[in-house]
Amino acid sequence: MPGITREEVAHLARLARLELKAEELEHFAGQLDDIIGAVARVSEVADQDVPPTSHPLPLTNVMRADEVRPSLTPEQALSGAPAQEQQRFKVPQILGED
């Protein structure tokens, strides 16, 4: 497999809107070549009996039980708000939308 060239790195940098110096182009070309080689080695090892996964270990969400507990009333929650409207915090408009 041919290595990553400086021109390819420069093209990727332009696409990403990055300005790279000549020595950075050489440095990143070597790094990208190493990364592509590592991915190729992993692809060689992966066989059909190995299912594709996003994580090496199974993930489970750990959540507490959803139970009703005493909390602030709307009046208490809004008591320190600088502005409120219809039992909600009122904040300045930032996106120019209605």
Structural domains in the chain?
6-45 (1.10.20)
Instruction: Report yes or no: 28 and 9 within 8 Å, Cβ to Cβ.
Output: yes
Structure pTM? 0.45
User: What's the pLDDT at 78?
Assistant: 94
Instruction: Report yes or no: 44 and 51 within 8 Å, Cβ to Cβ.
Output: no
Helices (H) and strands (E) in the chain, counts: 3, 2
Amino acid residing at 52: P
d(CA 81, CA 93) in angstroms, rounded, equals 16
Amino acid residing at 53: T
The residue ranking higher by pLDDT, 46 or 34, is 34
Distances (CA, A) of 68 to 49, 61, 62, 72, 97: 47, 21, 19, 12, 35
Residue 51 above 80 pLDDT? no
